[in-house]
């Protein structure tokens, strides 16, 4: 160990991440203390790493963090996640940011400050590549002055920011590729809640718990779009057909528009969502490269609508993974004869188990000649009547009989 270069020791200490572990390890000898001072590049203060953090007052934590950071000279990644701390004073937070700003590449920070510290201002015009903020406020963004020339990933969770400042912030990040918005408090300048974001470099966006009248995203390079737990009257994506992954999870939206150029779409994953099948199908119908289609727990706007497997098989010839779970009625959507030639994984789920579900499974198996794996998912309540137990038993027996015809197919049951 004594022959290890200090740079290697610095990498070893950095892999520990947790500040307490790094401090203890650096006390090994003089050489390790030198590596701590000059070659440590990653440091994390997380309330889950050490139980003592929970017992310390915020002022004591501020001193501890300050003393630790100020013993280093080459920090590139600083993470401060203290869930039990209501707030830090502004002065020490500013000191941490100013001390590390010349070398810092990643900053993860989730503690409120009093008074509020404009972290965007303190971190701009530097080499920051990843910025993750939570429980803070962002105000007065000036893209002509507060530039982030190297920022590639931005995450804002429970952050208070106006729609205008968020738009300006994206303008200040010419290399931004990943954007995460989780339950932001978005202030609007007028009565109608409309947010417009524009980024030519953005590739991946995740939006959770956002309520707006209209959300317009203009992103020429977008590849991954994930909306979760959102309430929107309208969402519009303006791009150039680069979208590859579309995920919609428990979203209420009256008008959804992802553009006409969907040729590159490969994955569509929709769950807990009300859809009009003809309109939804028309939106993705040009996605001839689609490989995964998941419609899970979806509700059809018209009770007579179902997923039309004939159109699915014809329009998505490369489909290899198909996942379906919705309320089966008298019509299962099994009309037609076109096979799903390339489907190798079939995942099916029920809302209400019945004989109709067994018939649906059988019909789908016939349409998938090259199937390798079948996954059946369902919800089993803790208390079941004798009749419900009989239905479940009958279903299990029917599946056992059915799968004797498909010995090559692996069967997996997932109940919750």
Domain residues of the chain, as ranges? Answer: 43-355
In 3-state terms, what secondary structure has residue 138? strand
Average pLDDT over residues 30-58: 91
Q: In the structure encoding, which two tokens stand for residue 20, read together? A: 């307490």
What per-residue confidence (pLDDT) applies to 28?
A: 82
Residue with tokens 């270069």: 5
Cα separation, 124 vs 282, in Å, equals: 43
Architecture per CATH, domain 43-355, reads as: Alpha-Beta Horseshoe (3.80)
For residue 330, pLDDT over 60 is answered with no
pLDDT greater than 80 at residue 333: no
110 pLDDT more than 90: yes
Give the pLDDT score at 160.
94
Helix (H/G/I), strand (E/B), else coil: 390: helix
Question: pLDDT value at position 350?
Answer: 80
Average pLDDT over residues 258-283: 87
Assign 63 to helix, strand or coil: helix
pLDDT score for 401: 87
Residue 81 has pLDDT above 80, yes or no: yes
pLDDT band, very low/low/confident/very high, at 128 (cuts 50, 70, 90) = very high
pTM (2 d.p.) = 0.91
Confidence of residue 328 (pLDDT cuts 50, 70, 90): low
Instruction: Return the pLDDT at 237.
Output: 95
Strand ranges inside 175-312, DSSP E: 178-182, 185-187, 194-198, 204-208, 211-218, 224-228, 231-238, 245-249, 252-257, 267-271, 274-275, 292-300
Burial 171-190 (b: 16+ CB within 10 A, else e): bbbeebbbbbbbbbebeeee
**Residue 145 scores a pLDDT above 80:** yes
Question: Does 317 have pLDDT greater than 60?
Answer: yes
Terminal Cα-to-Cα distance of the chain (whole angstroms): 51
DSSP state of 104: -
Say what the pLDDT of residue 259 is: 87
With a cut of 80, say whether residue 302 has pLDDT above it: no
User: Which band of pLDDT confidence, cut at 50, 70 and 90, is reported for residue 379?
Assistant: confident
C-alpha–C-alpha distance, residues 25 and 235, integer Å:
51
Q: What is the mean pLDDT of residues 164-191?
A: 92
For residue 331, pLDDT beyond 70: no
Mean pLDDT of the chain: 89
Give the residue, 402 or 183, on which the prediction is more confident: 183
Region 71-88 average pLDDT: 92
Which one, of 102, 80, 83, lies nearest residue 92 by Cα? Answer: 80
pLDDT at 5 over 70: yes
Instruction: Name the pLDDT band for 98 (thresholds 50, 70, 90).
Output: very high
- Residue 62's pLDDT band (cuts 50, 70, 90): very high
Residue 300, pLDDT > 80, answer no
Beta-carbon count within 10 A of 311 CB: 17
Q: pLDDT confidence of 329, banded at 50, 70, 90?
A: low
Asked if the model's pLDDT at residue 373 lies above 90, the reply is yes
Listed in sequence order, the residues at least 6 apart from 201 whose beta carbon sits closer than 8 Å to its beta carbon are 173, 174, 175, 176, 177, 221
Query: What residues form DSSP beta bridges with 138?
Result: 161
263, two tokens: 């040729």
* Region 83-87 average pLDDT: 85
Tell me the chain's radius of gyration from C-alpha atoms.
27
Whether residue 332 has pLDDT greater than 60: no
pLDDT of residue 304: 62
The whole-number pLDDT of residue 134 equals 95
What share of the chain has pLDDT > 90, as a percent? Answer: 59
Buried b (16+ CB within 10 A) or exposed e, 349-388: bbeebeeebbebbbebbebbeebeebebbbeeeeeeeeee
């Amino acid at each position: 160990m004594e022959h290890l270069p200090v740079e290697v020791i610095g990498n070893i200490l950095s892999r520990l991440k947790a500040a307490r572990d790094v401090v203890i390890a650096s006390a090994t000898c003089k050489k390790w203390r030198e590596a701590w001072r000059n070659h440590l590049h990653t440091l994390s203060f997380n309330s889950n790493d050490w139980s003592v953090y929970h017992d310390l007052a915020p002022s004591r934590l501020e001193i501890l963090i300050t003393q630790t950071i100020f013993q280093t000279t080459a920090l590139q990644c600083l993470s401060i996640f203290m869930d039990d701390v209501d707030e830090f004073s502004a002065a020490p937070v500013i000191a941490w940011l100013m001390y590390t700003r010349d070398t810092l590449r990643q900053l993860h920070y989730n503690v409120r400050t009093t008074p509020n510290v404009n972290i965007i201002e303190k971190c701009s015009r530097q080499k920051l590549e990843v910025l993750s903020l939570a429980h803070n406020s962002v105000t007065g963004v000036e893209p002509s002055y507060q530039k982030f020339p190297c920022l590639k990933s931005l995450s804002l969770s429970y952050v208070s920011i106006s729609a205008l400042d968020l738009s300006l912030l994206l303008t200040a990040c010419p290399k931004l590729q990943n954007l995460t918005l989780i339950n932001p408090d978005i202030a609007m300048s007028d009565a109608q809640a409309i947010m417009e974001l524009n980024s030519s470099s953005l590739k991946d966006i995740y939006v959770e718990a956002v309520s707006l009248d209209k959300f317009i995203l203009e992103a020429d390079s977008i590849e991954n779009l994930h909306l979760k737990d959102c309430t929107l009257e309208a969402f519009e994506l303006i791009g150039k057909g680069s979208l590859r992954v579309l995920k919609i999870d428990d979203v209420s939206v009256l008008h959804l528009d992802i553009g006409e150029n969907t040729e590159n779409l490969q994955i569509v994953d929709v769950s807990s969502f009300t859809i009009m099948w003809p309109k939804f199908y028309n939106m993705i119908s040009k996605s001839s490269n689609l490989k995964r289609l998941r419609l899970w727990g979806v509700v059809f706007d018209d009770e007579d609508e179902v997923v039309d497997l004939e159109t699915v098989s014809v329009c998505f010839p490369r489909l290899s993974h198909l996942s379906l779970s919705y309320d089966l009625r008298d019509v299962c959507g099994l009309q037609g004869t076109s096979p799903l030639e390339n489907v190798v994984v079939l995942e099916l789920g029920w809302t209400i188990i019945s004989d109709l579900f067994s018939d649906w499974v059988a019909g789908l198996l016939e349409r998938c000649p090259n199937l390798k794996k079948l996954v059946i998912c369902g919800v089993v309540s803790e208390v079941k009547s004798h009749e419900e137990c009989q239905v479940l038993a009958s279903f299990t027996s029917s599946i056992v009989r059915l799968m004797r015809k498909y010995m090559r197919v692996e069967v997996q049951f997932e109940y919750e």
